[in-house]
Amino acid sequence: MNLPFSSRCWRALASIAAFAVATQAGSALAQAREVPVGFLLPLSGGSATIGNQTKAGAEIAAEQINASGGIKALGGAKLKLIFADTQSKPDVGVAETERLIQRENVAVIVGAYNSAVTFPATELAERYKTPWLVTGAVKDEITERGFKYVFRPNNKAIYDAREQLDAIDLLKKETGKGPKTIGLFYEGTDWGRSHAANIKKLVKDRGYSVALDESYPPNQADFSAQLLKIRATKPDALIVVAYTPDHILFTRQFTESRLHVPFGVHSVGGGSEDPSFYKALPQQAVQYMFVQDDFQVDIMRASKDPVLTAADSKFKATMGYGLNSYGAQGVSNVYILKDVLERAASIDKEKLRDALAATDISSGPALVTGYQRIKFDNQGQNTFAHGVISQNLGGERRTVWPAENRLADVRPVWPLPNPSK
C-alpha cells in the first residue's frame, strides 16, 4: 500500500536531514584535524627579508609541533599556517587581514612586524573579534587602546628606548665616561616617530640633551644632507631607527664620510638585526655598532634545549645562518599558540581570546626569544618582555647589556676610536 503523500515527504525530509547532519559532522571532523592560523607578514617590499625570516621560524615550529602529535587537546589537530603578504603597506595589510578572516576563516592571526601595518590591521581584527598575536611591531599604542583581542609578547617602543639608555648608563658607570648629547635619526613612519618620542621623554631624567632630532622618509636614495646635519651638530652618541634597505645605505655612507661619534651608533633593531644587513656591508662599517636586539644571538651556542637546537639547525639549513631575532619570534609565536590551543581545547575565537588573556608561560620553546616569562596585562602587553643590547665586536654581535647577560669573554669598546686618526 502506498504511503500518504505527507508521510512520504516526512520520511524523505528525515532522510535528507540525516544525510546533512552526517555531512556536517564529517566536515567538522575534517576541520578539527587542522587549525588555520593566519600569518600577516611583509614577504615582499622593504621589510621582505625580515618577514621571510619570521615565516621560516614559524614553519619550523609548526613542523615540530605537527610531527610530535599536533594539538593533543584537539585530538592531534595539525597547525595549518596561512601566509599573507603585506608588502609593508598599511592598506594591503588591512585588505589581507579581511581576506584571512572572511575567506580563509583563520582562528587567529599573527602579525605584522611593521607598526604602520599592525596598528590599522589589528583594529579591523578587533572589530571582527579575531584574536591577534603581535610579532615584532612595537608602537606603544597597539596595546594601549583597550582592545580585548590583541596581545603582544614582544617589547613595545618605550621598552626599547629605555633599554638603549640603560645600556648607555651602564657603560658610563663602568668606565666613568659617557655622552652628554644624543642625536636622533629615524625613519618617519609609526615606528621611528614612536621611538624618537620615547627617547625624548626619557633623556630628560638621565642628564642628556638632544643635539639632533632628524626624521627621513623611507626608501631614501641618498643620505648626504642628513650626514651633513650629523657632522654639524656633533652628537656624542647617535640613535638610529631604520629598516634594512635604508640602514644599509646610511651605514655605508656614514662609514665613507669618516664621521666620528665618540660613544657610538646605537641602532634599535630593525635593519641591524637582519643578517642581510651584515652581508651587504664590510665588517669595518658595523664594527662597534650597538644594537638593541630582541634575541640574544651569542647565547644560542650554550643552549641545551633539544627543541631549540633542532630549530636552529633547521633554520640554518633553510636560511644559511642560525636563528636570529625574527626567526626566533616566528618560533616563539607558534609555540605560544600551541600553549593557548592546548588550554582552550577549541578553535572558537572567544575561547582562544580567553586562553590568550590567561597565558602564563615560564618555560619551554616559547621563550626562545630570551624572555623569562610571557604573561599579558589587561591591555594585552607582555610586561615581562625585554631585549638585550649587543655591540659588534670582531664580526660578532656580543651582548653588553644587561650585565648579567654578558658572557665572560666580552669586553665592550667604550668610547670608540676615532676612524680619522
pLDDT attached to residue 302: 65
Residues 343 and 305 in one domain: yes
Query: Average of pLDDT values for 76-104?
Result: 98
Range of the domain at 287: 158-293+388-405
Report which of 154, 180, 100, 98 is spatially closest to residue 366, judged by C-alpha positions: 154
Domain-embedded: residue 1: no
pLDDT attached to residue 301: 63
User: Residue 10: is its pLDDT beyond 70?
Assistant: no
pLDDT attached to residue 11: 44
Domain-embedded: residue 354: yes
The count of other CB atoms within 10 Å of the CB of residue 282 is: 11
Residues 188 and 256 in one domain: yes
Name the residue with cell 641618498.
222
pLDDT band at 243 (very low <50, low <70, confident <90, very high): very high
CA distances (Å), 215 to each of 239, 240, 259, in order? 12, 10, 19
Domain-embedded: residue 325: yes
pLDDT attached to residue 17: 37
Residues 278 and 186 in one domain: yes
Residues 167 and 148 in one domain: no
Residues 133 and 198 in one domain: no
Residues 257 and 398 in one domain: yes
CA distances (Å), 128 to each of 98, 228, 242, in order? 9, 48, 32
Domain-embedded: residue 16: no
Residues 307 and 280 in one domain: no
Grouping H, G, I as helix, E, B as strand and the rest as coil, residue 262 is coil
pLDDT attached to residue 204: 86
User: Residue 420: is its pLDDT beyond 60?
Assistant: yes
Element (H, E) at 52: helix 48-67
Cβ atoms 394, 288 nearer than 8 A? no
Report which of 153, 120, 144, 84 is spatially closest to residue 294, judged by C-alpha positions: 153
Residue 144, domain CATH: 3.40.50.2300
Average pLDDT, the chain: 91
Domain-embedded: residue 420: no
pLDDT attached to residue 45: 92
CA angle 242, 246, 250 (to 5 degrees): 95
Query: Average of pLDDT values for 190-194?
Result: 92
pLDDT band at 102 (very low <50, low <70, confident <90, very high): very high
Domain-embedded: residue 130: yes
pLDDT band at 1 (very low <50, low <70, confident <90, very high): very low
Residues 263 and 394 in one domain: yes
Cα torsion angle, 268, 269, 270, 273, sign: positive
User: Residue 110: is its pLDDT beyond 50?
Assistant: yes
Compute the distance between CA of residue 334 and CA of residue 80 in angstroms, rounded to an integer. 11
Give the tens place of pLDDT for each residue, 270-305: 899 899 999 999 999 999 999 998 888 887 766 778
User: Residue 20: is its pLDDT beyond 50?
Assistant: no
Contacts of 290 (CB under 8 A, 6+ apart): 164, 167, 264, 265, 266, 267, 389, 390, 391, 400
Residues 392 and 360 in one domain: no
Domain-embedded: residue 46: yes
- Rounded to two decimals, the pTM is 0.84
Q: Which amino acid is at 39?
A: F
Residues 51 and 142 in one domain: yes
Residues 249 and 393 in one domain: yes
pLDDT attached to residue 202: 96
Residues 34 and 146 in one domain: yes
Total tally of structural domains belonging to the chain: 2
User: Residue 400: is its pLDDT beyond 90?
Assistant: yes
pLDDT band at 32 (very low <50, low <70, confident <90, very high): low
Compute the distance between CA of residue 330 and CA of residue 338 in angstroms, rounded to an integer. 13
Give the tens place of pLDDT for each residue, 304-324: 789 989 999 999 999 999 999
Give the tens place of pLDDT for each residue, 142-189: 999 999 999 999 999 999 999 999 999 999 999 999 999 999 999 999
Peptide bond into 402 cis (omega under 30): yes
Torsion of CA 198, 221, 111, 125, to 10 degrees: 80
Domain-embedded: residue 8: no
End-to-end Cα spacing for the chain:
111
